[in-house]
Amino acid sequence: MTLGTISGYELIKPLGSGGMGDVYFAVSPTADRVALKVIRKHLIDEPTVRERFAAEVDSLKLVYGSRVARLENADPYADPAWLAVEYVPGATLRQHVDAHGPLPVAEAAMVGAMLADGLDKVHQVRLLHRDLKPQNIILGPDGPKLIDFGLAVLVDRSDYLTAPGAMVGTPAYMAPEQVKGERELTAAVDVYGLAATLVFALTGHGLYPPTNSWNLLLRITEPGDLPDLSGVPAELTPLLGAMLAFDPGARPALGDVGKRLLAVATASSGRSAAQLRQDVAALTYADDTELLVPADLQDPRQDPEGTPAVEESTVPEPTLPPTQVDPEPPPVTPQADVSWLVDKIRRQYARRATL
Protein backbone atom coordinates (compact mmCIF):
# COMPACT_ATOMS: atom_id res chain seq x y z
CA MET A 1 0.00 0.00 0.00
CA THR A 2 1.47 3.37 -1.02
CA LEU A 3 0.53 6.98 -0.31
CA GLY A 4 0.15 7.87 -3.97
CA THR A 5 2.14 8.41 -7.11
CA ILE A 6 3.95 11.46 -8.51
CA SER A 7 5.34 11.20 -12.02
CA GLY A 8 5.80 7.46 -11.70
CA TYR A 9 7.35 7.58 -8.22
CA GLU A 10 5.49 5.55 -5.60
CA LEU A 11 5.33 7.47 -2.30
CA ILE A 12 6.05 4.92 0.43
CA LYS A 13 6.53 6.81 3.68
CA PRO A 14 6.74 10.41 4.93
CA LEU A 15 10.27 11.47 5.87
CA GLY A 16 9.52 14.92 7.17
CA SER A 17 7.76 18.21 6.66
CA GLY A 18 9.01 21.78 6.65
CA GLY A 19 8.29 25.27 5.50
CA MET A 20 9.15 24.42 1.90
CA GLY A 21 7.21 21.18 1.55
CA ASP A 22 6.71 17.57 2.51
CA VAL A 23 9.39 14.92 1.96
CA TYR A 24 8.63 11.29 1.16
CA PHE A 25 10.62 8.12 0.82
CA ALA A 26 9.71 7.10 -2.72
CA VAL A 27 10.56 4.41 -5.25
CA SER A 28 11.01 4.85 -9.01
CA PRO A 29 9.60 2.48 -11.64
CA THR A 30 12.99 0.74 -11.67
CA ALA A 31 13.10 0.49 -7.84
CA ASP A 32 15.55 3.35 -7.24
CA ARG A 33 15.13 4.82 -3.76
CA VAL A 34 14.75 8.61 -3.57
CA ALA A 35 13.78 11.37 -1.19
CA LEU A 36 11.01 13.25 -3.01
CA LYS A 37 10.06 16.72 -1.84
CA VAL A 38 6.69 18.13 -2.84
CA ILE A 39 6.96 21.93 -2.88
CA ARG A 40 4.20 23.89 -1.15
CA LYS A 41 1.98 25.53 -3.71
CA HIS A 42 1.98 29.02 -2.19
CA LEU A 43 5.78 29.17 -2.43
CA ILE A 44 5.82 28.74 -6.17
CA ASP A 45 2.62 30.46 -7.33
CA GLU A 46 4.50 33.41 -8.76
CA PRO A 47 5.82 32.66 -12.27
CA THR A 48 9.11 34.41 -11.53
CA VAL A 49 9.69 32.24 -8.44
CA ARG A 50 8.90 29.09 -10.42
CA GLU A 51 11.39 30.17 -13.07
CA ARG A 52 14.06 30.78 -10.43
CA PHE A 53 13.40 27.34 -9.00
CA ALA A 54 13.67 25.83 -12.50
CA ALA A 55 17.01 27.60 -12.95
CA GLU A 56 18.23 26.22 -9.62
CA VAL A 57 17.21 22.71 -10.71
CA ASP A 58 19.24 23.14 -13.91
CA SER A 59 22.23 24.14 -11.80
CA LEU A 60 21.74 21.14 -9.52
CA LYS A 61 22.22 18.88 -12.52
CA LEU A 62 25.83 20.07 -12.64
CA VAL A 63 26.62 19.38 -8.98
CA TYR A 64 28.88 16.43 -8.35
CA GLY A 65 30.84 14.86 -5.51
CA SER A 66 30.35 12.26 -2.79
CA ARG A 67 29.33 14.85 -0.18
CA VAL A 68 26.18 15.89 -2.02
CA ALA A 69 22.93 13.96 -2.36
CA ARG A 70 22.70 13.86 -6.16
CA LEU A 71 19.67 15.09 -8.05
CA GLU A 72 17.59 12.24 -9.48
CA ASN A 73 14.70 14.07 -11.12
CA ALA A 74 12.52 17.16 -10.82
CA ASP A 75 9.62 18.98 -12.43
CA PRO A 76 9.43 22.64 -11.36
CA TYR A 77 6.47 23.25 -13.68
CA ALA A 78 4.29 20.40 -12.38
CA ASP A 79 1.35 20.94 -10.04
CA PRO A 80 2.61 20.41 -7.44
CA ALA A 81 6.25 21.08 -8.24
CA TRP A 82 8.58 18.41 -6.93
CA LEU A 83 12.23 17.47 -6.61
CA ALA A 84 13.72 13.99 -6.10
CA VAL A 85 17.25 13.40 -4.81
CA GLU A 86 19.29 10.36 -3.90
CA TYR A 87 17.99 8.63 -0.77
CA VAL A 88 20.72 8.65 1.89
CA PRO A 89 20.11 6.38 4.90
CA GLY A 90 21.07 7.73 8.29
CA ALA A 91 20.16 10.34 10.86
CA THR A 92 20.59 14.08 10.41
CA LEU A 93 23.35 15.84 12.31
CA ARG A 94 20.64 17.51 14.41
CA GLN A 95 19.07 14.17 15.29
CA HIS A 96 22.43 12.65 16.19
CA VAL A 97 23.50 15.49 18.49
CA ASP A 98 20.07 15.62 20.15
CA ALA A 99 20.20 11.87 20.82
CA HIS A 100 23.89 11.30 21.59
CA GLY A 101 25.38 14.68 22.47
CA PRO A 102 28.10 16.77 20.75
CA LEU A 103 30.76 15.22 18.55
CA PRO A 104 34.38 14.86 19.75
CA VAL A 105 36.70 17.48 18.30
CA ALA A 106 38.49 15.18 15.84
CA GLU A 107 35.30 13.73 14.39
CA ALA A 108 33.59 17.13 14.25
CA ALA A 109 36.57 18.66 12.45
CA MET A 110 36.63 15.74 9.99
CA VAL A 111 32.91 16.16 9.32
CA GLY A 112 33.56 19.85 8.70
CA ALA A 113 36.44 19.13 6.32
CA MET A 114 34.30 16.73 4.31
CA LEU A 115 31.42 19.21 4.13
CA ALA A 116 33.81 21.99 3.08
CA ASP A 117 34.98 19.78 0.23
CA GLY A 118 31.39 19.17 -0.83
CA LEU A 119 30.45 22.85 -0.65
CA ASP A 120 33.51 23.80 -2.67
CA LYS A 121 32.33 21.56 -5.52
CA VAL A 122 28.88 23.12 -5.30
CA HIS A 123 30.35 26.60 -5.55
CA GLN A 124 32.34 25.58 -8.63
CA VAL A 125 29.07 25.43 -10.58
CA ARG A 126 28.06 28.85 -9.23
CA LEU A 127 25.44 27.48 -6.89
CA LEU A 128 25.03 28.40 -3.22
CA HIS A 129 23.36 26.26 -0.61
CA ARG A 130 22.00 29.24 1.38
CA ASP A 131 20.36 27.05 4.03
CA LEU A 132 23.18 25.06 5.62
CA LYS A 133 22.13 23.70 9.02
CA PRO A 134 22.33 20.46 11.04
CA GLN A 135 18.93 19.36 9.71
CA ASN A 136 20.26 19.48 6.13
CA ILE A 137 23.19 17.14 6.77
CA ILE A 138 22.64 13.38 6.64
CA LEU A 139 25.20 11.22 8.44
CA GLY A 140 25.31 8.34 5.99
CA PRO A 141 27.31 5.09 5.88
CA ASP A 142 30.16 6.90 4.10
CA GLY A 143 30.06 10.11 6.11
CA PRO A 144 28.05 13.34 5.89
CA LYS A 145 26.05 14.42 2.84
CA LEU A 146 24.45 17.76 2.07
CA ILE A 147 20.78 17.89 1.11
CA ASP A 148 18.13 20.50 0.19
CA PHE A 149 20.03 22.50 -2.41
CA GLY A 150 18.15 25.05 -4.46
CA LEU A 151 15.10 25.14 -2.22
CA ALA A 152 16.05 28.15 -0.12
CA VAL A 153 15.25 30.45 -3.05
CA LEU A 154 11.57 29.63 -2.47
CA VAL A 155 11.43 31.11 1.02
CA ASP A 156 10.56 34.77 1.27
CA ARG A 157 11.14 36.99 4.28
CA SER A 158 7.36 37.06 4.78
CA ASP A 159 7.57 33.45 5.95
CA TYR A 160 9.46 34.73 9.00
CA LEU A 161 8.44 38.39 9.21
CA THR A 162 5.94 40.78 7.64
CA ALA A 163 8.58 43.38 6.78
CA PRO A 164 9.47 43.78 3.10
CA GLY A 165 12.62 42.31 1.61
CA ALA A 166 13.80 38.89 0.57
CA MET A 167 15.48 36.52 2.97
CA VAL A 168 16.43 32.90 2.36
CA GLY A 169 17.66 30.39 4.90
CA THR A 170 16.95 29.30 8.47
CA PRO A 171 17.38 32.27 10.85
CA ALA A 172 19.50 30.54 13.49
CA TYR A 173 22.19 29.66 10.92
CA MET A 174 21.94 32.67 8.61
CA ALA A 175 24.72 35.10 7.85
CA PRO A 176 24.11 38.80 8.56
CA GLU A 177 23.92 39.67 4.85
CA GLN A 178 21.14 37.11 4.40
CA VAL A 179 19.19 38.53 7.30
CA LYS A 180 19.47 41.99 5.76
CA GLY A 181 18.00 40.66 2.53
CA GLU A 182 20.99 41.40 0.33
CA ARG A 183 20.54 40.07 -3.20
CA GLU A 184 24.17 39.64 -4.22
CA LEU A 185 25.20 36.80 -1.95
CA THR A 186 28.58 35.09 -2.20
CA ALA A 187 30.13 31.80 -1.11
CA ALA A 188 30.78 33.47 2.24
CA VAL A 189 27.17 32.79 3.28
CA ASP A 190 27.86 29.06 3.19
CA VAL A 191 31.13 29.53 5.10
CA TYR A 192 29.12 31.22 7.86
CA GLY A 193 26.47 28.48 7.76
CA LEU A 194 29.12 25.76 8.00
CA ALA A 195 30.65 27.45 11.06
CA ALA A 196 27.26 27.81 12.76
CA THR A 197 26.57 24.13 12.04
CA LEU A 198 29.93 23.04 13.47
CA VAL A 199 29.36 25.11 16.62
CA PHE A 200 26.15 23.13 17.16
CA ALA A 201 27.91 19.83 16.40
CA LEU A 202 30.63 20.62 18.98
CA THR A 203 28.47 22.13 21.72
CA GLY A 204 24.82 21.29 21.16
CA HIS A 205 23.82 24.98 21.22
CA GLY A 206 23.31 27.67 18.61
CA LEU A 207 25.12 30.94 18.04
CA TYR A 208 22.47 32.87 19.99
CA PRO A 209 20.04 31.80 22.73
CA PRO A 210 16.61 30.62 21.53
CA THR A 211 14.28 33.56 21.08
CA ASN A 212 11.62 34.84 18.73
CA SER A 213 12.46 35.61 15.12
CA TRP A 214 12.51 39.39 15.56
CA ASN A 215 15.03 39.33 18.41
CA LEU A 216 17.19 36.69 16.73
CA LEU A 217 17.41 38.58 13.45
CA LEU A 218 18.19 41.83 15.23
CA ARG A 219 21.02 40.20 17.15
CA ILE A 220 22.51 38.65 14.01
CA THR A 221 22.57 42.05 12.25
CA GLU A 222 24.22 43.82 15.19
CA PRO A 223 28.02 43.87 14.57
CA GLY A 224 28.84 44.16 18.25
CA ASP A 225 26.64 41.20 19.28
CA LEU A 226 29.13 38.37 18.82
CA PRO A 227 28.07 34.71 18.42
CA ASP A 228 28.34 32.44 21.45
CA LEU A 229 31.35 30.14 21.03
CA SER A 230 31.34 28.83 24.60
CA GLY A 231 32.14 25.13 24.70
CA VAL A 232 34.00 25.14 21.37
CA PRO A 233 37.39 23.38 21.79
CA ALA A 234 40.35 25.73 21.78
CA GLU A 235 41.79 24.07 18.66
CA LEU A 236 38.82 25.29 16.61
CA THR A 237 37.87 28.59 18.24
CA PRO A 238 40.08 30.84 16.05
CA LEU A 239 38.94 29.21 12.80
CA LEU A 240 35.22 29.20 13.64
CA GLY A 241 35.46 32.78 14.88
CA ALA A 242 36.96 33.85 11.54
CA MET A 243 34.29 31.94 9.61
CA LEU A 244 31.61 33.82 11.60
CA ALA A 245 33.03 37.27 10.84
CA PHE A 246 30.33 39.91 10.37
CA ASP A 247 32.00 41.12 7.18
CA PRO A 248 31.68 38.47 4.43
CA GLY A 249 35.01 39.57 2.96
CA ALA A 250 36.80 38.76 6.21
CA ARG A 251 35.77 35.11 6.22
CA PRO A 252 38.28 32.53 4.97
CA ALA A 253 37.74 30.74 1.67
CA LEU A 254 36.34 27.22 1.73
CA GLY A 255 39.58 25.71 0.47
CA ASP A 256 41.47 27.16 3.41
CA VAL A 257 38.69 26.14 5.79
CA GLY A 258 38.87 22.52 4.64
CA LYS A 259 42.65 22.33 5.03
CA ARG A 260 42.60 23.83 8.52
CA LEU A 261 39.77 21.56 9.69
CA LEU A 262 41.57 18.49 8.36
CA ALA A 263 44.79 19.59 10.11
CA VAL A 264 42.95 19.89 13.44
CA ALA A 265 41.27 16.50 12.92
CA THR A 266 44.51 14.63 12.23
CA ALA A 267 46.61 16.48 14.82
CA SER A 268 44.10 16.08 17.66
CA SER A 269 43.57 12.37 17.01
CA GLY A 270 46.92 11.20 15.63
CA ARG A 271 45.00 9.35 12.93
CA SER A 272 45.01 9.58 9.14
CA ALA A 273 42.19 11.01 7.06
CA ALA A 274 41.19 7.50 5.95
CA GLN A 275 41.02 6.30 9.55
CA LEU A 276 39.04 9.38 10.60
CA ARG A 277 36.49 8.76 7.85
CA GLN A 278 35.94 5.29 9.30
CA ASP A 279 35.71 6.77 12.80
CA VAL A 280 33.06 9.26 11.69
CA ALA A 281 30.93 6.57 10.05
CA ALA A 282 31.28 4.21 13.02
CA LEU A 283 30.30 6.97 15.44
CA THR A 284 27.45 8.60 13.55
CA TYR A 285 25.83 6.16 11.12
CA ALA A 286 22.60 4.61 12.39
CA ASP A 287 22.02 1.61 10.13
CA ASP A 288 18.64 0.89 11.72
CA THR A 289 17.27 3.99 10.00
CA GLU A 290 17.67 2.61 6.47
CA LEU A 291 14.46 2.20 4.47
CA LEU A 292 14.16 -0.55 1.87
CA VAL A 293 11.90 -1.07 -1.11
CA PRO A 294 8.84 -2.98 0.18
CA ALA A 295 8.83 -6.56 -1.05
CA ASP A 296 5.11 -6.39 -1.82
CA LEU A 297 5.28 -3.10 -3.73
CA GLN A 298 3.03 -3.31 -6.78
CA ASP A 299 4.69 -2.85 -10.15
CA PRO A 300 3.95 0.81 -10.99
CA ARG A 301 4.10 -0.04 -14.70
CA GLN A 302 1.23 -2.58 -14.51
CA ASP A 303 -1.52 -2.11 -17.07
CA PRO A 304 -4.32 0.00 -15.50
CA GLU A 305 -7.01 -2.43 -16.70
CA GLY A 306 -5.33 -5.19 -14.76
CA THR A 307 -4.78 -7.41 -17.78
CA PRO A 308 -1.52 -8.10 -19.53
CA ALA A 309 -0.93 -6.36 -22.84
CA VAL A 310 -0.59 -9.82 -24.49
CA GLU A 311 -2.93 -12.63 -23.54
CA GLU A 312 -1.07 -15.77 -22.64
CA SER A 313 -2.60 -19.22 -22.81
CA THR A 314 -2.98 -21.04 -19.54
CA VAL A 315 -3.05 -24.43 -21.27
CA PRO A 316 0.38 -25.93 -21.29
CA GLU A 317 1.69 -26.95 -24.61
CA PRO A 318 2.12 -30.71 -24.97
CA THR A 319 5.59 -31.87 -24.33
CA LEU A 320 6.82 -34.07 -27.13
CA PRO A 321 9.34 -36.75 -26.38
CA PRO A 322 12.67 -36.13 -27.91
CA THR A 323 13.17 -37.67 -31.32
CA GLN A 324 14.84 -41.03 -31.02
CA VAL A 325 17.70 -41.61 -33.36
CA ASP A 326 18.64 -45.23 -34.01
CA PRO A 327 22.09 -45.74 -32.69
CA GLU A 328 24.68 -46.83 -35.14
CA PRO A 329 25.75 -50.44 -34.67
CA PRO A 330 29.08 -50.81 -33.00
CA PRO A 331 31.93 -51.52 -35.30
CA VAL A 332 32.60 -55.27 -35.88
CA THR A 333 35.95 -56.42 -34.68
CA PRO A 334 37.34 -59.29 -36.82
CA GLN A 335 37.64 -62.55 -34.80
CA ALA A 336 40.89 -64.61 -34.97
CA ASP A 337 40.61 -68.28 -36.13
CA VAL A 338 41.66 -70.46 -33.15
CA SER A 339 39.95 -73.71 -34.17
CA TRP A 340 43.32 -75.34 -34.81
CA LEU A 341 44.30 -74.74 -31.22
CA VAL A 342 41.07 -76.27 -29.90
CA ASP A 343 41.60 -79.41 -32.02
CA LYS A 344 45.18 -79.76 -30.79
CA ILE A 345 44.12 -79.58 -27.12
CA ARG A 346 41.40 -82.15 -27.71
CA ARG A 347 43.89 -84.57 -29.27
CA GLN A 348 46.27 -84.18 -26.36
CA TYR A 349 43.53 -84.98 -23.82
CA ALA A 350 42.41 -87.99 -25.90
CA ARG A 351 46.00 -89.40 -26.01
CA ARG A 352 46.39 -89.07 -22.21
CA ALA A 353 43.19 -91.03 -21.67
CA THR A 354 44.62 -94.08 -23.57
CA LEU A 355 47.93 -94.22 -21.70
Long-range Cβ contact pairs of 339-348 (< 8 A, separation 24 or more): none
131: annotated active-site residue: yes
Q: Measured between alpha carbons, how far is 280 from 283 in angstroms, rounded to an integer? A: 5
Which residue of the set 117, 120, 131, 156 is catalytic?
131
Whether residue 156 contacts residue 20, with contact meaning beta carbons closer than 8 Å, is answered with no
Helical (H) or strand (E) element with 126: none
- Whether residue 41 is annotated as binding a ligand: the answer is yes
String of b and e for 254-276 (b: at least 16 CB within 10 Å)?
beebbebbbebbbebbebeeeeb
Neighbours of 28 (CB within 10 A): 18
28 sits in the region (left: phi over 0; alpha: psi -120 to 50; else beta) called beta
Q: Measured between alpha carbons, how far is 127 from 272 in angstroms, rounded to an integer? A: 31
Nearest Cα to Cα of residue 173 among 223, 217, 234: 217
Q: Measured between alpha carbons, how far is 34 from 26 in angstroms, rounded to an integer? A: 5
Q: Could you list the active site residues?
A: 131
- Residues making up the annotated binding site are 41
- Residues making up the annotated binding site for ATP are 41
